[in-house]
Amino acid sequence: MASTPKNKLGIRGWVCGGRYVVERYAYIIHRISGIGILVYFILHIFVTGSRLGGPEKWHSTMSFFETPLFKFGEYLVFAAFAFHALNGLRLFFNELGFLIGKPARPVFPYKTSIHHQRPWLIVLMILAALFIVVGGLDFYILGE
């Protein structure tokens, strides 16, 4: 007799757990961008720490990071930050029970807390997209 399959979705379940509301994807991107920013911070401390090794060490480290790949990485960190900050603003209020409506007798078609906060998500995501596009222009076109 085989043991009962656990049928837990695991990390796969963050992305392919089923077709539900867009907020579920915001949750995942929020997580991934958060982890990305954390990894960047740790790296950042080590990189700037190389300044202690004198100007030569500093310059050699910096030139190592001047490749297009790292520049793109830096842009990704910026994009992650823009998303994480703006989505985090929404979550800050939502998770304290604001902007999600009030309990009411459920009448089909159900209107839930998710519908109540949706306009905020839309506005903030437009803002995030704007930041990411303008940031991209600055990184690659205006900043050259």
Partner 1 sequence: MENSKQTKETVNNVIFEVLRYNPETDKKPRLEEYTVKVTKGMTVLDGLNWIKENLDNTLAWRSSCRMGVCGSCAMFINGRARLACNNQIMHINTKKLVIKPLPNFAIIRDLVPDFEDFFEKHRTIKPFLIRKKAEELDNPGNEFFQSPEELANYIQFAYCIKCGICLAACPTCATDDRFTGPMALTQGWRYVSDSRDEGAEEREQELFSRHGVWRCHFAGACSDACPKGVDPAMAIQLLKRDMFFKQYEKRKKSPARRETEESKEWKPNPDIPKPPDPTV
Residues in the site for partner 1, rule: CB under 8 A? 1-2, 4-14, 17-21, 23-24, 26-28, 30-31, 91, 94-98, 100-101, 103-108, 110, 112-114
Minimum CB separation from partner 1 for residue 17, in Å?
6
CB of 128 to partner 1, least distance (A): 17
How many angstroms from the chain centroid is the CA of residue 100? 22
Complex with partner 1: residue 6 or 68, whichever CB lies closer: 6
Q: Which helix (H) or strand (E) holds 115?
A: helix 113-137
Q: Are 113 and 63 in contact (CB under 8 A)?
A: no
Dist CA 134 CA 131 (whole Å) = 5
CB of 59 to partner 1, least distance (A): 42
Q: 46 or 110, CB closer to partner 1?
A: 110
Instruction: State the Cα–Cα distance between residues 50 and 66, nearest whole angstrom.
Output: 15
